[in-house]
């Protein structure tokens, strides 16, 4: 799907749809407003160059040798608590701090390939 990005994004980053500006922004599990990941950036998107639109994966397989960390095959992936190496990619460790929001995003097919199928259930860790 094609959407407008509200900030610069790198392929594989988790995003949520921000209703107030109708744009995709980085999803982070530490706040309710930003915790619901609805897509992954399917390409690098630069903001401010007049063409802030890009492709986003809503469901399916995505592979990235440069952005993703080395995932454990078969492991569940989650919305990240924070950026890893300046990138907001899915993590295999569930958010575990009080007040974090846990959302299952899918699972690792290989060390650098994911099946993205985000759950509509987001549960606050207490």
Query: Over the chain, what is the mean pLDDT?
Result: 93
* 61 and 109 Cβ atoms separated by less than 8 Å: yes
pLDDT at 47: 85
pLDDT tens-digit map of 49-107: 666 899 999 999 999 988 899 999 999 999 999 887 788 999 999 999 999 999 999 99
pLDDT at 4: 95
Q: pTM, whole model, 2 decimals? A: 0.93
Q: What is the DSSP letter of 34?
A: G
Q: Which conformational region is residue 109 in: left (phi greater than 0), alpha (psi within -120 to 50 degrees), or beta? A: alpha
Residue keyed to tokens 């109708």 = 22
pLDDT at 50: 62
pLDDT tens-digit map of 3-58: 999 999 999 999 999 999 999 999 999 999 999 999 999 999 988 766 689 999 99
């Amino acid at each position: 799907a094609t959407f407008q990005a509200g900030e610069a994004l790198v392929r594989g980053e988790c995003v949520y749809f921000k209703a107030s500006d109708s744009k995709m922004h980085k999803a982070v599990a530490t706040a309710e407003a930003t915790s619901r990941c609805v897509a992954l950036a399917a390409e690098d998107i630069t903001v401010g160059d007049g063409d802030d639109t890009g492709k986003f994966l809503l469901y399916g397989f995505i592979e990235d040798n440069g952005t993703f960390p080395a995932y454990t095959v078969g492991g569940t992936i989650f919305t990240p608590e924070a950026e890893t190496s300046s990138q907001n990619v899915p993590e295999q460790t569930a958010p575990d701090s009080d007040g974090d929001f846990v959302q299952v995003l899918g699972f690792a097919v290989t060390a650098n390939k994911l099946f993205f199928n985000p759950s509509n259930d987001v549960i606050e860790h207490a």
